[in-house]
């Protein structure tokens, strides 16, 4: 694959466009404390990109509590987490767009690349509204309609469909291992932002390094 293959970008939201991954972490930590699961960096990392209910299951399992709650109680815990999260993100403004990302989106748009949002978050539209990026994407995968979340390829395949592109012409941008795996399994080019993304085709330390030029240099 080369840079010239790319015709569109499927972009994750939390941890790529805005630093909301930390707010998801903070909100989950309150749930972990409540159920008695020790909060570790490893657990926090494993939750990145993972859907709300799957994240709750991972937290319960990490503390050996997977059989301690009914479905109804689990739904209540997930709702509490979401209320915590929505409280934390209330203060987001366009200043919270991660460094270089607005520029990257503007440049990609100006050069005619397709753009789709591939976030597992049901709060995606709310966050985009706070960041004033509501109109930037030609479409967004609705995570409520997915059969399987990341690392399953479904979300990135749907993003390609929204852009009307063959997956080989799509590059996905992710900060999470689960997301990179999803992109790879969809047969797209994976761009990893941050640490511990050994399977990404191309890696950047942070979003400020991500430009079309830098990508062209790395991909050839």
Q: Residue 181, interface with Mg ion (CB under 5 A)?
A: no
User: Which position among 7, 46, 82, 208 is part of the footprint of ligand BG6 (CB under 6 A)?
Assistant: 82
Tokens of 50: 């993972």
Task: Identify which range of 29-37, 46-54, 102-110, 204-212 contacts ligand BG6 by CB under 6 A.
Answer: 46-54
Distance between start and end Cα atoms, the chain: 9
Q: State which of positions 9-48 bind Mg ion (CB under 5 A).
A: 12, 14-15
CB of 83 to ligand BG6, least distance (A): 11
Prior bond of 215 cis (ω within 30°): no
Alpha helix stretches (DSSP H) within 40-169: 41-47, 52-62, 71-89, 101-110, 124-130, 154-162
Cis peptide before 39 (omega within 30 of 0): no
Q: Could you say which of Mg ion, ligand BG6, none residue 119 binds, taking C-beta under 5 to 8 angstroms by partner kind? A: ligand BG6
Q: Rounded to an integer, what distance in angstroms lies between the CA atom of residue 217 and that of residue 195?
A: 20
Instruction: Tell me which residues touch ligand BG6 (CB under 6 A).
Output: 13-14, 21, 24, 47-52, 55, 82, 119-123
What amino acid positions are annotated as catalytic residues? 12, 14
Task: Give residues in contact with Mg ion (CB under 5 A).
Answer: 12, 14-15, 49, 175-176
């Amino acid at each position: 694959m080369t840079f010239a293959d790319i015709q569109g970008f499927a972009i994750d939201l939390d941890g790529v466009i805005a630093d909301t991954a930390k707010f998801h972490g903070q909100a989950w930590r309150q749930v972990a404390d409540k159920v008695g699961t020790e909060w570790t960096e490893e657990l926090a990392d494993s939750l990145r990109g993972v859907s709300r209910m799957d994240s709750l299951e991972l937290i319960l399992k990490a503390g050996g509590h997977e059989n301690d709650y009914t479905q109804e109680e689990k739904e209540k815990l997930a709702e509490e987490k979401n209320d915590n999260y929505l409280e934390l993100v209330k203060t987001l403004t366009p200043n919270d767009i991660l460094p270089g990302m607005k520029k990257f989106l503007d440049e990609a748009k100006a050069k005619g690349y397709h753009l789709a949002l591939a976030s597992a978050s049901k709060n995606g539209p709310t966050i985009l509204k706070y960041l004033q990026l509501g109109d930037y994407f030609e479409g967004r995968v609705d995570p409520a309609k997915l059969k399987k979340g990341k690392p399953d390829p479904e979300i990135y395949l749907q993003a390609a469909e929204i852009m009307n592109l063959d997956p080989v012409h799509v590059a996905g941008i992710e900060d999470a291992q689960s997301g990179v795996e999803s992109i790879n399994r969809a047969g797209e080019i994976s761009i990893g932002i941050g640490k511990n993304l050994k399977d990404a085709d191309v890696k950047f330390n942070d979003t400020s390094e991500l430009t079309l030029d830098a990508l062209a240099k790395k991909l050839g």
